[in-house]
Chains A and B, each alone.
Chain A
Amino acid sequence: MWSTLRERGVSYLIVGPFAIVLAFPFYWMLVTAFKTNGDLYNLNNVPFTYHPSQAAVGEKLSFQHDHWLPFGFENATTSHISFIFSDTNYLRWVENTAVVGGLVVVITLLLAVPAGYSLARLSGRWGQSVGVGIFLTYLVPPTLLFLPLSRVISKLGLQDRLWSLVLVYPSFTIPFATWLLMGFFRTIPAELEDAALIDGCSRLKALARVILPISIPGILTVVIFSFSLSVNEFVYAITFISGTKQHTISAGVPTDLIRGDVYFWQSLMAATLIPSILLALLYNSFLNRFIAGFTGGAFR
């Protein structure tokens, strides 16, 4: 028992500080989202708790009579959080982001799975080189490509449409996904497919019935990774779409919540924390398979 406790203690001692450092920004965002302007801008106040201050224009102190709340929360306000729902198109941005992300994931899987499989199984010695070459295209930054792609989007009549992002985002999700899946498929013993082929399956059926079911961790990794990349992308989102109702979160939040040299800090923190929590829950649901997907791809 003591050795178990000691092992656990050592584990927590090592992991604990990392967890605190990584979680701290989210704690900061959460605390800041509820702060009044007077509290936030007062350098004499401890930033991790709430302090009395004069409510600014538009701020309501809804908890001011609840003195039992911890951390001085009776001095907090929800006005800046409700601002993003009432005075911006925030929910629409979340919807747009979910739609674009979902479609990009589907397109990425449709193209990256067969590509990764082909490079892993059918391309011989040059498959590895081609895989690396495909991956290298992922490294070309959007800041180099957004100008020529603007012309392409305009010619296709997709300006100010979400389809412009659905078309362009796979250009960076597919290379990485192909490279990742290529490595993952290599870890699956070829004998499994050979057995299926001997039993009369076609190559496609062997892929669908034998390989894909055991590739779920890799595929989930691609899903989560592609979705995250789509959510975080900014340059194309701000360039191809100018209408506020058509924005994704990455474009809408800085456009509406940073006005000139005025930052609406509390609303900014809330607007970015909400999707972060959703993404964190998504990651957490499939954590084991996600880890298996990444580490499986390492042995290739």
Chain B
Amino acid sequence: MAENDDELEELGISTSLTRRQLVRRGLGGFLIAYAGALPKVAAAGVPKYVHKHYKNTLKIIQWSHFVPAYDVWFDKTYTKNWGAKHDTDVQVDHIALAQLPARAQAEVAAQSGHDIFGHLSPQAGLEDQVINHKEIIQEVTRKVGKVSQVGFKSCYNPKTRKWHGFPENYVPDPIHFRKDLWNQVGIKPSTWDDVRRAAPKLKALGHPVGLGMSNELDSNMLLIALMQCYGAFIQNAQARPTINSKNTIEALKVMRDIYKRGMTNEVFAWTAASNNQGYLSGRLALAVNAISIIRSAEDANPALAKNTSVAPIPRGAVQRLGLEHVMGVYTIWKFSKQKALATRFIADLEIHYQGAFKNSKFYNFPAFRGAVHNYATQLAADPHKGKYKVLDLIARKYTANLGYPGFSNAAIDEIFNTWLVPQMFAQVAQGKMTPAEGAKAAENEFKPIFAKWRARGKI
């Protein structure tokens, strides 16, 4: 005998509305009501003639800025005003940071896409696909002064004498630390030795330090910066791999020690957002990251923001030297049909960088220092009690390019994008290799990469 609605329905003898009938009818009604949109939407694509009174079209793609207001300013104010002056419809598309490389490769494969591509790291590997950006460099230099060393060494190839990208901005990479917790343990994170001493005490308090050793951007930047502080480098100024050195071994020992006594093994599985989230949840006592952490805390957790200090990277045995957290690099593809317009746009943006600097909440520092004036005054005027003044010092003195003391070349690009440095540190920290073995293994991986790009004439 049928006992439930489904069986009654199948037998066709149900007299009342079953649950399933109700859901079906409701969904059906919703779909019918909505179907009016289908033909219109199916025919939609990029509206080709929205601004048909503009002569030109310029297409830009860049990341979704962590400050939503920056994208609103860029998309709806800056580009619209610039476009009106230059009879151009400027179309700006955004993409998540992690998808930028794949999107770039897709546009190269298709030989079609955006006129201006906004990367977040130097793209030496794409040198053959882009124009020589020398003209823009010269134009901006004439107007606001020379490009910074960071910008120069990130986007210029001395071998081919080509500017493979335009360095638009770079982002200083400070440490964020919990004043209250570090006061409790009676130490300040001024040197890596201080961090080493404090780490176990902080872990005992339930607030470990957060230094990633994972295949992600923050770990890459932090660990290369740590190496620099100990005088260890991936390459020398002549683009020869120098990873296997006693300085690298020392840096590996420091990190292994910090991990064993003061961190948890989650750091081997982190993503780019993990240190942000760990810090914002109140768990981590220290993180190395751009100011997205503290700016998020100001909105989400003001009490935490008040207890957070921002400082330069700790000093190592040799020096205090960090890296840019990310570097905004604009490239113009060779296949672009709007090279002149794209050149003009980038030059104008950099020459008048004040708006970008301010609307990014001081995240974007111009690669041409003269493009913004009165850094100290502006940073001090931030409502959060001058906390960001230190960013100017970090940007001027403690930020090097990826590949320092050499240039950011294609070999550095490949080593960076294949996470070889975090893997070296992770292997040593987990005890799978000794520091000496780790440095040697890394050298064995780096040498073929350098040889390959040397053979291709890029370094």
Contacts and interface: CB of A to CB of B under 8 A. Distances in A.
Interface in A157-188: 159-163
Given A56-B299, A159-B113, A261-B289, A98 B27 contact: no
Given A42-B281, A154-B112, A162-B44, A261 B20 contact: no
B131 interface: no
Given A43-B283, A159-B112, A243 B63 contact: no
B110 interface: yes
Nearest to B45: A161
A84 B179 CA distance: 35
Contacts of A159: 110, 112-113
Interface stretch (A63-71, A116-124, A199-207, A277-285): A277-285
Given A162-B45, A255-B64, A150 B110 contact: yes
Given A42-B282, A154-B111, A244-B93, A261 B42 contact: no
A65 to B, nearest CB: 23
B300 to A, nearest CB: 4
Contacts of A256: 64, 94
Interface string A45-60: 0000000001011100
A58 B69 CA distance: 13
B341 interface: no
B110 A154 contact: yes
Given A41-B301, A263-B277, A150 B42 contact: no
Interface in B1-57: 6, 10, 20, 23-24, 26-27, 34, 37-38, 41-42, 44-46
B326 to A, nearest CB: 8
A20 to B, nearest CB: 21
A57 B106 contact: no
A259 interface: yes
A254 interface: yes
Contacts of B301: 37-38, 41, 56
B273 A239 contact: no
Interface string B192-219: 0000000000000000000000000010
Contact of B94 (A41, A58, A255, A263): A255
Nearest to A143: B102
Nearest to A92: B41
By CB atoms of chain A within 10 A, which of B44, B107, B114 has the most?
A: B44
A102 B298 CA distance: 44
Contacts of A108: none
B273 A261 contact: yes
Contacts of B111: 151, 154
A198 interface: no
A295 to B, nearest CB: 15
A109 interface: no
Contacts of B91: 243
Given A38-B300, A151-B109, A263-B273, A99 B282 contact: no
Contacts of A98: 34, 38
B79 interface: no
Interface string A102-114: 1100000000000
21 contacts: A37-B300, A41-B300, A43-B281, A56-B300, A57-B299, A96-B41, A99-B37, A103-B42, A239-B103, A242-B93, A242-B113, A243-B93, A255-B64, A260-B97, A261-B218, A261-B272, A261-B276, A261-B289, A262-B276, A262-B296, A285-B27
Interface of B: 6, 10, 20, 23-24, 26-27, 34, 37-38, 41-42, 44-46, 61, 63-68, 91, 93-97, 99, 102-103, 105-107, 109-114, 218, 272-273, 275-277, 280-283, 289, 292, 296, 298-303
Given A96-B41, A98-B34, A243-B91, 20 more contacts: A37-B301, A38-B300, A41-B301, A57-B298, A151-B111, A154-B113, A160-B46, A162-B42, A238-B102, A238-B103, A246-B44, A246-B45, A246-B46, A255-B94, A255-B95, A255-B99, A259-B65, A281-B23, A287-B20, A288-B10
